[in-house]
Structure 1
Amino acid sequence: MARVVTGSRWAAIVGYSLVGAATQLVWLNFAGVTTVAAAHYGVSETAIGWLAQVFPLLYVVLAIPCGLILDRWFRAGLLAGAVLTAVGALVRLIGDDFGWLLAGQIVASVAQPLVLNAVTGITGRYLEEDDRPTGIAVGTASIFAGMVIAFSLDAIFTTGESLGTMLAVTAIFCVAAALVLIVALRNEGPHSVAATSSGDRGALEIAWGDPLIRRLCVLALFPFGVFVAMTTFAQALLEPAGVSGGTASTILLVTVVAGVLGSAIIPVVVVRRRAESALLVLSLTVTSIACVVLALAPGVLTGFVAIALIGLLLLPALPIVLELVERRTGEAEGTAAGLIWMSGNLGGLLVATVVGLLVDYPTAAFLVMAVIPLIAVRGARALRRPIDELREQPQP
């Protein structure tokens, strides 16, 4: 069925961006106040850590099913994700105890793949072809912006007594974001196509059967694995070098801000210059060098420079990969995006586990993180030819 071109509708991207930020805000609400939250709710710091860990764990399980839902019922699936995110945030306000916190996190974590998998679908349905790289960059940058909001709230609400206020502010944001998206998606996108008639199995076969999608999935394991491990253990790994917890939190905040800016700007420029493969190679190489610097000369200055560079160059790799997915797939774009996100989360779990085992040996941990992106450099360089071939194909 041919698409009828009637212009881009950026209101849908704005609504999506708010909900995407909301998912990350709920996920990382306690990242910077783990010790305070553990004392307030009478549980261990490990238990507080599980409030965040349920998100990547459930993402790995739900990524493909949620992608299939989006391919069949895109608007309903995305709106369900927005509503569930808001419901999860509200559930945490029912009682001032850990049980309600965990229940709310589980609800929101189920919603996350419905939202994040939709970043290519929302642009494909509501934006014209020339605007889609920008839309994907904006949507992905908003996801990282949600991390910035979470870290900022952690810096404001630093006591046990203020945690309830932080959760209330988060819930208000999530509800408002859901309402904006509901209004923005009141009509089908002008570029929507009919749901695939091949069924759920067909959508998965289309996505996984594509050799380029499989290569992008493998590639996603490495850079995002390093980023998750770095953000999880940077404070512990830099502490022996005299970097305080507060300074490490500031480094991470600067890193994510750099990633937001990079994700909003770099992919647009790269796609226009047809330099996707070169940018991926550059980001992986710089990440490796930055990790070597941290291994050999850890400190405040090197921490700021090296980790901020990682955020600036590594995070934009995600919207670049997702833009390739949007160009490559049509009726299976939700499933394909789900495979990419699943691979990234799986890489995060694996690399973070390895680095966690080496947390008492910072030099070894940083060197491991230096080797991992180098493994993917050859694969990133080899993408040049299939990307050039993709440009010659008609837009699905």
Structure 2
Amino acid sequence: MNKRTILLTGGGTAGHVSLNQALIPELLKMNFNVEYIGSKDGIESELIKDGHPEVAYHPIASGKLRRYFSMKNFTDPFRVGTGFFQALNVIRKTKPAAIFSKGGFVSVPVAMAGRAMSVPVIIHESDVTPGLANKIAMPFADHIFTVFTETLKHLPKEKSTCTGSVIRSELMEGSAEIGKELCKFDNDFPVLLVMGGSQGSAVINEAIRTNLTALLVEYNVIHLCGKGNVDDSLKNVPNYCQFEYVTSELPHLLHMTDFVVSRAGSNSIFEFLALKKPMLLIPLSKQQSRGDQILNAQLFKQQGFAHVVEEEDLSPERFFEEMKKLHLHEELLVENMTLAEPPKTAYEMAKLVTSYTKKK
């Protein structure tokens, strides 16, 4: 008997791929064939091809939908149109029972093509307010899942459900011992994990490195600094471990971590919440984004899960003050996180997705 196919899409950032990565093994266990539509050179290409060789990857043209003036705004609609016809071709060949979209610009032509081919399209929105790509794709969707209940007021009631966060199983299976082997720390100081997203954050990197001497008196520091941002002059500093970007190592690093400094992408902060890691969030500013990370961070602050400092207010001095406060309030933050609603498993989310598959 031929397996039915689930077609996944999403890309542009790691946050638009990680849930799909969590769903792949669960869908395979449920005896589905899994294939992926992504951009030709986006981060999803690397993550899916390298991490999931069992999944056929179909690259399509992908334009970027900008909120600011750019000459590319006049040419990229043609790339989206090209992507639409390429996605149509993939759908005709694979005959999927459903399409699951995690968002990002590459997902727009896929959702449009899915509707044109009468394939059920399921969208997942992680942030408090829908991103521009998902806003455009939503009219073509059969159902929309959200992480935050607050998101539902921005969506059509008749086809929207809040599932809460979804945590990949391997995150809970990390080993602090393996993490210690990776970092080679030689003392029992608390571990501070710093991450600024897959591309890194110049402002966070500067705050860490300016305060590094003082931080290393109290902490072992793991610094995920982004591609091309490793400082070679600091490579041999004791108790300071730099990575450009990690994938399979992250669960091990998180399990050995006591405190986190991070941007406020939805996937990451819910992973910190699931592992009950006190966090200082420095959301991406409105000058660089639509403000979604600011909303994510403020909701976590209101619920007592995190401390927050806006990027514009961050200085090396302010950063060190905030770290002192985070350490002081560690027990209260952990207690609040213990009371949070438990996340869904990837298996539970896969069951929800497959419930919308087209019948044979």
TM-score, structure 2 as length reference:
0.31
Question: Whose helix proportion is higher, 1 or 2?
Answer: 1
Question: Whose strand proportion is higher, 1 or 2?
Answer: 2
**Larger RCO of the pair (alpha carbons < 8 Å, separation 6+):** 1
